[in-house]
Amino acid sequence: MKTRKVGSWYEITIPKEWSTYTIDDLLRNVWKAPKKMIHQFRMENKVKINGLSVNWNQLLIPGQTLQLELFSSQDNEVVPAFYDIPVLYEDDHLVIFNKPAGMDTHPNEPHQSNTLLNAAAFHLQANGELLQPRHIHRLDRDTTGAVLFAKTAFAGSLLDRLLEERKIKRTYLAITDGIFSKNKGTINQPIGRDRHHAVRRRISPTGQTAITHYEVLRRQQKEQQTLVRCQLDTGRTHQIRVHLSSIGHPLAGDVLYNGSHSFPRQALHAVKMELVHPFTNEKIVCHAPFIDQPMIFKNIDPYSI
């Protein structure tokens, strides 16, 4: 699909396959944008064709230019702060960072400025993009790896939907205590808050549905540890940590869930992210190199996962 950014506008050359759609169809049924946002676009005249306002119920004509005002400058609610965070992928609509350990994904209190969201805000500002980044998902403070941010509210709404529909695939690597007997399996156990601990989560019949698929990649007999690949159907707080601990294999270094003191943090890394771009339909595959010093994940190629 032929697209480009021109100032605050996003331009798309209308493809043949959109000839049966109206603007309303495209926003409501193809992109499935929120009703409130569609109403805002209509009221503020943020959608044009060839520079002109048009009837939203007329069929689109292939070859013409559809224009959406997506990149208007915004007052950033987050304090921009410089941190040297590796960028795994970036375009006009989204950016994927490789989060280090010891950093929250977003502020948990007013004026907090040492999070990945603050770093994302600085990154956009330094590039001359006066936009407000939005995290699409989170990683725990001491979990490393790929985290996805939207640059605009519209991209954020489309990426939120993809995440909800399980169309953003995230793969994790974990080192657990103990040697797994099974090569692969699925843990389908609901997760809720632990009433006796402010931070911990636990398996709970009244908790939220949580599904984790795991596969053994390497049994490390000498260390009595197992390297495991995990993929999630859901994204509950501490999901992998709770689930693996529940089957007797807590993450090495995860003392909150009875893991050993093998590492200075839980051995969990979001190594791979896959999604189809919400506008261009291109497949994006990102691998996140290991950034711990000293290294936790040794003798494994993150690009092979």
Contact 212, 243 (CB under 8 A): yes
Q: Which of 104, 140, 177, 254 is catalytic?
A: 140
- If 0-12 CB within 10 Å is exposed, 13-18 middle and 19+ buried, where does residue 288 land? buried
Q: Are 177 and 259 in contact (CB under 8 A)?
A: yes
Strand partners for 184: 215
Contact partners, residue 262, CB within 8 Å, separation at least 6: 175, 177, 223, 225, 252, 253
Pairing of strands 211-220, 3-6: unpaired
User: Active-site residue 160, yes or no?
Assistant: no
User: What are 46-53's contacts with CB under 8 Å, separation 24+?
Assistant: 46/70, 47/23, 49/14, 49/23
Output the DSSP codes for 139-170: --TT-EEEEEEESSHHHHHHHHHHHHTT-SEE
CA 228 to chain centre: 21
Contact yes or no for 1/15 (Cβ under 8 A)? yes
d(Cα 49, Cα 230) in Å, to the nearest integer?
45
Q: Look-up: residue for tokens 């193809």?
A: 30
| Residue matched to tokens 């939220």 | 208
- 208 Cβ neighbours under 8 A, 6+ residues apart: 190, 191, 192, 234, 236
User: Any idea which residues carry the catalytic annotation?
Assistant: 140
